Each structure stands twice: as structure tokens, then as C-alpha cells.
Structure 1
Amino acid sequence: MTTDVTDTGLGTIRVGILGGGFMARVHRTAARDAGGEFRAVATGSLAGGRQAADELGAVRAEADAAALLAADDIDVVHICTPNATHAGLALRALDAGKHVICEKPLATNAADARELARVAGSLGCVTAVPFVYRYHPMVREARARVALGGIGELLTLDCSYLQDWMLLSTDDDWRVRSASGGASRAFADIGSHLCDLIEFVTGQRIRSLSARTRRVFAERAGRAVDTEDIVAILVETESGALGTLLVSQMAAGRKNALTLELHGTRQTLRFEQERPEELWIGMREESRLLLRDPSTASPDSARLQRVPSGHAMGYQDAFNGFIADVYAAIGGATPDGLPTFEDGVRSAVLTEAVLASAAADGRWTEVAA
């Protein structure tokens, strides 16, 4: 039986977080912004949990994940731990009757992701995966314009997600090894966001793809690496639109450069995550730079705009909007565009298609529905 969050005795959603790193801090901030009460945190050790509780401001530290999941004063669990632990922890949280927000990837294989979605559906739990770039207001503006036919028929896509935090051989992280991060690194880590955004904005799924991957360094910081640094992908959507996707964590100077450019028969739309207040609109006769403004935005874009135009919104604001929608769903609402475990399944399916194509020297691969 799922937890009844409308009868907590506190009148608010009570939050537990697994993990104490950067993403835990982002989740904590968003949870508080949404009115949640941060009850407990657990990390790999009690000492680590106590440190995280002090740093993040939790009411208490639990000894381990099992203790946090067993707690009767927690309604929703945020999973912010290494990738390989996600599926197991999410299943245990669901079995404990908790609502679950699980960092991506939901699971390191599609079969486990599908099982999680099935269990969540059978229990009636609210589940979510933070594909938070959906929550930039100008992304919602682009989506609304595509849905209304403003760009015409989609012809091509030119998209990329570029970072430089793994540029040097001395750059190392738990994500580079499949035992902790899963079989894919660059695509599963950031390419998944890019593909989610493509499908969300266009309303079309990627039907087939051809992928090539590259691992630049066999070792990082003296330890073997078995995941990719760079992925180049050709895609075809359901309508026959063709696209190029470049995903790299070794693009010098690029910190978090997610770019979505859609070419239609009437217009081109371009969104850049590092310039989230803007949407570039290209036409044959002129081009325009549309700036975020709630007074002129589409309704779905306007609802996410918490401050007037000219007051910059960014990544944390997008994350705050995502968590607010999750908590609204726990309260019984049905917010549009909320990324659920089903979207986590889709990401896992795409990841496996990319890896399969790359293993076959870029052979065109159909993406399972």
C-alpha cells in the first residue's frame, strides 16, 4: 500500500534523500522550494550520513538505506546514488510504499527499468526521473510552437550536448567504469537528456539510429576505463526527419552546452541550455531572438516562470519546477510533461540501441517502442 501523503500529520510532504553529493544538494534545494520537509539522509556510511545531514540540513542521518526506507515519517525518497545502485534502491523504496524520484539512468539496462515501471504502476506510486531540461520555460515555449504547427513539417535536427570535465587523462570519476556507472557513460549521462528533450519538444520518437562511440583514454588517473567519452549519432524520427547528434565530455571550453535545433518547412527553433532565457526563431525572410516573458508566453511556459522577464532563471529553477510538479502529482494533480519511470525506460532503451549500433560499426538500428 502506498503512503497517504495527504495525512502525514505535518501537512507537508516528508522527504528522504539517499546520497550526499552534488545532486543531493540540488534535490534538497528543490524539495524545500516545493514545501517539502527534509527528514532524513543516508549515504554509504553513518559517518558520511551525519556529515551530509549537517551540510544539507536534514533533521537526522540514518545508518543506511534500509533504515531510511523503513522510516514511517518519509513519503518520498530521492535517489542520488551511483548509477548501478538505482534499480535496486528504487525497487526497495517502492516495496516500502514510498513515492520515488530516481536520478537517471533509472537502471543500467532496459529490462530492469521496465520492471521498475511495472511495479510502480501496480502500486500506484508517483515516480519520476529528473529530465529537468523539460522545465526551462523556453523549452516549453518551443514545444508549444511545434505542437501548434509553427515550424511546419519537421525536416532535420542538429543537436548536441558538450562538456569538458573529462578532457584530461587525469580527470576521473566513478562514472567512467561500468561496474558503478553502467555500460554507457557519455550517452547515458548526458545524451539521454538530449534525446529526451528532442522527443519531448518534437512530439516524435526516434525510430532508428546509427551510432559511433570513441574512448579517448584507456586509463584515467592510472585506472582502466571501459566507457565512452564521445558519441556521434544519426537519427530518424517517426515522421522521417533526419538528425545529427554529437555528445562529448571532452569538448574544451564547453561546460554544459546542450543545444537543440529543429528545422521545419516554415521555421527553425534553436534552444541553448547555457542561454536558457532565449529561443532563436529562424525564417527565410528574417530571424528573431525571443526572450523569456511570462506576459507573452504560451500557458505551459508561463506557469514555470516564477520571476518577471529580465530576472534570469536557470538550472536550479528548472529543477525546482520539476520537483514542484512531482509533489503536486503526489497530492493528486496531473502536471503536463512530468517525466516518469516510463521516460526512464525510454532512456534505457535508447542507450541500448546506441551501444548495439556502435558495437556493429554504426549499423542502422531500430529503436524499440
Structure 2
Amino acid sequence: MVEEVSADGRALRIGVLGGGFMGRVHSRAARSAGAVLDSVATSSPASSARAAAELGFAHSATAHGLIDRGLDVVHVCSPNDVHAEQSLRVLDSGSALICEKPLATDSQAARAVLARAEEAGVMGTVPFVYRYHPMVREARARFRAGEVGRLLTVDAGYLQDWLLGSEDENWRVESARGGPSRAFADIGSHLVDLIEFIIGDRIAALVATTRTVHPRRGGAAVTTEDTVAITAEFSGGAIGSLLISQAAPGRKNSLTVEIAGTEASMRFDQEQPERLWLGRRAESRLLVRDPDALAADAARLCAVPAGHPQGYQDAFNSFVADSYAHFAGDRPEGLPTLRDGVRAVLVTEAVLESAATRSWVDVDQV
């Protein structure tokens, strides 16, 4: 990993919009990358002051006040419905942008953010951080090297249980704040990004069905989905099956991707991120994270020696470090940008359209 500084050699001054779980994750990653934690803004002056004290920011602020400080980077970690609005303001201020997914709750707004960034010459990234597990990079490298052969099938899922019960509530359930999709936009977008990143191909068409397990939560009607099942066709001819659920008992963060080709299969399980399963007709092997044995792009993400487990925060730290390096003029391999954020919104809209029409839908390209 590289010590992250601005192009002129000074430490980056950063601000974070949002003090919830993701704001805290971003803050830890920024500190790890050597940034100066300048300002944080949450939903009220009191909570902003608490967040500043707890997370180690020099200042608390309002959202508008933070954006107007002229910081090097602003992390947007607020509820989904304000992502596009805040991102546009950040870009207009000249600050580089790291925006939590979804980049926007509809593709028109997402495209507007991308267009504004390109017009202004300001950089932005979106934290599809599961790309930053070293064994994901190893899977990608092996696929690129031809070890799997011609891709035939993809079997993937993302299962959680934190919204299993009708009494489980969160702002993401509300379409007014979270957007028209919940389970897919929240976690299914990560799954699709990870698949497409590993195989270097895109879903061209899909058919999806969704279910809302609990029509009411906390006395209020629910319009967003709890579960999604998808059959997908890839541009290169492969087919795939994806299952997404936030109501799968016992599954905390079970993100799995298995790809099968004419020569071999590979499987990555995010809850066992130090391992990659490689299967052939004559043998199966379990590869473990060891920088001395990995492809260069995987080895560079090994923050600790083999045998010392790495996890989610380590992946996030690497993503933020790569983002800062990108903003300073480097070109890190595999960095998810605003274009990837738009892609995720387009796939989400295709899923919702397919579920509504009960038909196959072509996925728009960025």
C-alpha cells in the first residue's frame, strides 16, 4: 500500500457526510490512508458534534457547510435519496467524491452525476469494496489467464438475515429514503459488480422476480423487496443464477460467487475471504491467501502476512487508499469509479422492470 497524499505532497483533507455505520467505516479507512479528518456532518448539529468527537474529526458541520469548506475529498455516506444531490454539490465545489452506492435512486440522476464529474474534470469513486479482497483479485487473474477456459455458468448469491422479522426496521426499507429497490440496490448491486469484475463480462439480459416478505414493518406499509431471484444471460454467452435475500435466517453476510468454465470452476465466499476454491474434473484445491503465491494485483492488497486474517475493513481501507491515489494522479488497477456506480443503477432498474412485467429485460449500458 502507498502512503496517500495529494499531488503536491500534502495529506488529503477529507470530510464525511453521514455518521452511521458506513460513515464510521469510511472514517476508519480515511485515517488508515493517512488523510486529515477535517469535518463530519450528520442529521443534526448535536449528532454531528458527537460524531466528530467519537470519530476524531477536527470539526462538525452542516452538509452544506462541509461541502463549502473546499476539502480535497468528500465521502457521501448519507441516506440514498440525497446521494445524487450531495454528489453534484461536491463535484461543483471541486472536491473529489467518494459516494456510497447507490450513486442515485434512478439512472437519470446517476448519469447526471457522471456527466457533471466528466464536465468538471473532477474524479469520483463508488465503494464496491468486495473487489478488494485479495482472493477476488486472484480469481480475476486466474480467469484472465485462461485457467477456467470458456465461461459456461455463474452461480451466485448474497444472503443476510438482518431484516428477517416484521419488527426489523431501517430507513432503507422506506422507498422515499432508500429508493424503489432495497435488497437488490443494497446488496444485489455488490453481487453483480463482483461477478462482472471477476469475469470481465456483463449481464446483457435478465429475468427477475421479487418478493416482499413483510408487507408492513413497524405499522407502515412496505413497498421495497426483501428477496430477489434472477436468471441472467451474459454478453459472452454464459448463463447465471443469482439469489439475493435480506431475510435468510443465520446468514449474516453470505456473498458467494461460483463460476464454471470448460476447464475449471472457482468459488469465492466473502465469509471465508482468505480462501479460493479451484475445482477441476480430476482434482479440487483450496487456495489460501499467501502474497508469495498470488498474482501481483492480489499480492499488493495483502495488508498483513499470510496466516493473519484480513476482512471487510481491510478491503475498505484498500479501496479508499486506491481512491486517494487515483485522485492524486495514479491509476490503481480495478478501482470502481462513478461509471460503475451508474452501471449498478441500470442493472437495478432492469431488475425492477423485469419483476414488474414478468419478462426478460435487456440491461442498458453506460
Q: Could you state the TM-score of these two structures normalised by the residue count of structure 1?
A: 0.97
Instruction: Report the counterpart of residue 70 of structure 1 in structure 2.
Output: 68
Instruction: Report the counterpart of residue 215 of structure 2 in structure 1.
Output: 218
2:293 is paired with a residue of what secondary structure? coil
Matches within 5 A, 1:228-239: 228-239=225-236
TM-superposed deviation, 1:188: 0.1
The answer to whether 1:167 aligns with 2:156 is: no
1:211 is paired with a residue of what secondary structure? strand
State the distance in 1 between where 2:64 and 2:174 align: 26
Instruction: Report the counterpart of residue 25 of structure 1 in structure 2.
Output: 24
The answer to whether 1:350 aligns with 2:347 is: yes
Instruction: Report the counterpart of residue 87 of structure 1 in structure 2.
Output: 84
1:304 is paired with a residue of what secondary structure? coil
Instruction: Report the counterpart of residue 7 of structure 2 in structure 1.
Output: 6
TM-superposed deviation, 1:269: 0.3
Q: Could you state the TM-score of these two structures normalised by the residue count of structure 2?
A: 0.97
Q: Is the 8 A contact 1:127 1:340 kept in 2?
A: yes
Matches within 5 A, 1:103-142: 103-142=100-139
Instruction: Report the counterpart of residue 238 of structure 2 in structure 1.
Output: 241
Match of 2:299 among 287, 299, 302: 302
Q: Is the 8 A contact 1:69 1:92 kept in 2?
A: yes
Q: Is the 8 A contact 1:143 1:200 kept in 2?
A: yes
TM-superposed deviation, 1:306: 1.4
Q: Is the 8 A contact 2:259 2:266 kept in 1?
A: yes
Task: Name the aligned partner's letter for residue 274 of structure 2.
Answer: E
State the distance in 2 between where 1:126 and 1:31 align: 17
State the distance in 1 between where 2:193 and 2:148 align: 20
Instruction: Report the counterpart of residue 256 of structure 1 in structure 2.
Output: 253
Name segments (4+ residues, structure 1) moved above 4 Å: none
Task: Name the aligned partner's letter for residue 255 of structure 2.
Answer: L
2:155 is paired with a residue of what secondary structure? strand
Query: 1:33-88 deviations in whole A, cap 9, x for unaligned?
Result: 111010000111111110110111100101x111001113x210001100001000
Aligned residues between the structures: 361
Instruction: Report the counterpart of residue 61 of structure 1 in structure 2.
Output: 60
Task: Name the aligned partner's letter for residue 23 of structure 2.
Answer: A
Matches within 5 A, 1:267-346: 267-346=264-343
**What is the aligned-residue RMSD (CA, Å)?**
1.0
State the distance in 2 between where 1:235 and 1:88 align: 32
The answer to whether 1:227 aligns with 2:227 is: no
Instruction: Report the counterpart of residue 43 of structure 1 in structure 2.
Output: 42
Q: Is the 8 A contact 2:7 2:329 kept in 1?
A: no
TM-superposed deviation, 1:308: 1.0
TM-superposed deviation, 1:331: 1.0
TM-superposed deviation, 1:352: 0.3
Percent identical residues: 56
Q: Is the 8 A contact 1:322 1:338 kept in 2?
A: yes
2:277 is paired with a residue of what secondary structure? strand
State the distance in 1 between where 2:202 and 2:63 align: 36
State the distance in 2 between where 1:45 and 1:271 align: 41
Q: Is the 8 A contact 1:126 1:326 kept in 2?
A: no
State the distance in 1 between where 2:220 and 2:308 align: 45
List runs of 5+ in structure 1 lacking aligned partners: none
Match of 1:98 among 79, 91, 95: 95
Task: Name the aligned partner's letter for residue 206 of structure 2.
Answer: L
Q: Which deviates more, 319-328 or 42-51?
A: 42-51
List runs of 5+ in structure 2 lacking aligned partners: none
The answer to whether 1:368 aligns with 2:364 is: yes
Task: Name the aligned partner's letter for residue 37 of structure 1.
Answer: V
Q: Is the 8 A contact 1:268 1:281 kept in 2?
A: yes
1:295 is paired with a residue of what secondary structure? helix
Instruction: Report the counterpart of residue 34 of structure 1 in structure 2.
Output: 33
State the distance in 1 between where 2:164 and 2:257 align: 23
1:334 is paired with a residue of what secondary structure? coil
TM-superposed deviation, 1:5: 4.0
TM-superposed deviation, 1:29: 0.6
Task: Name the aligned partner's letter for residue 54 of structure 2.
Answer: E
Instruction: Report the counterpart of residue 15 of structure 1 in structure 2.
Output: 14
The answer to whether 1:265 aligns with 2:262 is: yes
1:6 is paired with a residue of what secondary structure? coil
State the distance in 2 between where 1:6 and 1:353 align: 40
TM-superposed deviation, 1:6: 3.2
State the distance in 1 between where 2:79 and 2:60 align: 19
